[in-house]
Copies of this chain bind each other. A is one copy, B any other.
Amino acid sequence: MTQEAVGRDTSRGASDAERVTSRLRQAIVAGEFAPKQRLVETDLIEMFDASRGAVRAALATLAVEGLVERVRNRGARVRAVDLDEALEIVEVRAALESLCAARAAERVDEGGVARLRAIGEVMRAAVDAGDGEAYAQANRDLHQEVMDISGAKVAPDVVKRLRAQNVRYRIRLAMQPHRPTTSLPEHLEIVEAVCAKDPERAAEAMRAHLNSVYEATRDYFAKKG
């Protein structure tokens, strides 16, 4: 274990490799590295104060997760997701999250209803206040809460990985000022449908919402890239 690195990190018992993996993943998802940007092992060693083994393990992990692209003897770089793939990801999310929404409507209890309604209120307030950051956070919370309530493991795992890949499009889409005007009612309908314990309606609400995300993404990025 490197002595200097001790206590540098939030997660306690994590090994060096796990620590680097987690922080590099976070950095990529947060957009701190541009797509196609090279990830030179030496730089990462310095940046995270870790050994090469740890850095290489992290790159291998993130390559399987689809965040990093590796070419033999030519190194690693941040994978660039093109528009077509981003749209496919939204389609897959629609299929899986609508499934989870239906399950959530079947299983939701009082606590879940309270948490969902609370998120809905936060969203309303964020839109009123024009606070895009708060709205974006509540958006993540809502999708996560629905999947938590569903009790499923497989679908949420897949969705989580896919969402990470799509971060570039999500960030820039959320920039649009009037986007909440469309998405707020959709989100509230998801909340209401799940709280009403109506699986069909919940699945349809989720599908409709992600269909709207699909169209917004497609139109906004149509020519740019």
Residues of A within 8 A of B (CB): 13, 15, 56-57, 60-61, 64-65, 72, 85, 88-89, 91-92, 95-96, 98-99, 152-155, 158, 162
Contacts of A88 in B (CB 8 A): 152-155
Check B64 against A158 for contact (C-beta < 8 Å): no
**4 other contacts beyond A64-B65, A95-B98, with CB at 8 A cut-off?**
A88-B153, A88-B155, A89-B154, A91-B155
* Residue contact B154 to A92, C-beta cutoff 8 Å: yes
Q: Return the contact of A13 from the options B72, B95, B153 (Cβ within 8 A).
A: B72
Cβ contact of A92, chosen from B61, B72, B96, B162, cutoff 8 A = B96
What CA separation (Å) do A20 and B174 show in the bound complex? 43
Q: Given A13-B72, A65-B64, A158-B158, do A95 and B99 touch, yes or no (CB 8 Å)?
A: yes
The closest CB in chain B to the CB of A98 belongs to: B95
Closest to A87 in B: B154
Min Cβ gap A21→B in Å is 9
A88, A91, A154 — most chain B CB neighbours (10 Å):
A154
**Complex Cα–Cα for A99 and B99 (A):** 13
* Shortest distance from the beta carbon of A72 to any chain B beta carbon, whole Å: 6
Q: How far does the alpha carbon of A96 sit from the alpha carbon of B15 in the complex, in Å?
A: 36
Q: How far is the CB of A80 from chain B (nearest CB, A)?
A: 14
CA–CA, A13 and B72, complex, Å: 10
Would you call B13 and A85 a contact (CB within 8 A)?
no
22 residue pairs from A and B, CB less than 8 Å apart: A13-B72, A15-B72, A60-B61, A61-B64, A64-B64, A64-B65, A85-B153, A85-B154, A88-B153, A88-B155, A89-B154, A91-B99, A91-B154, A91-B155, A92-B99, A92-B154, A95-B95, A95-B96, A95-B99, A96-B96, A154-B162, A158-B162
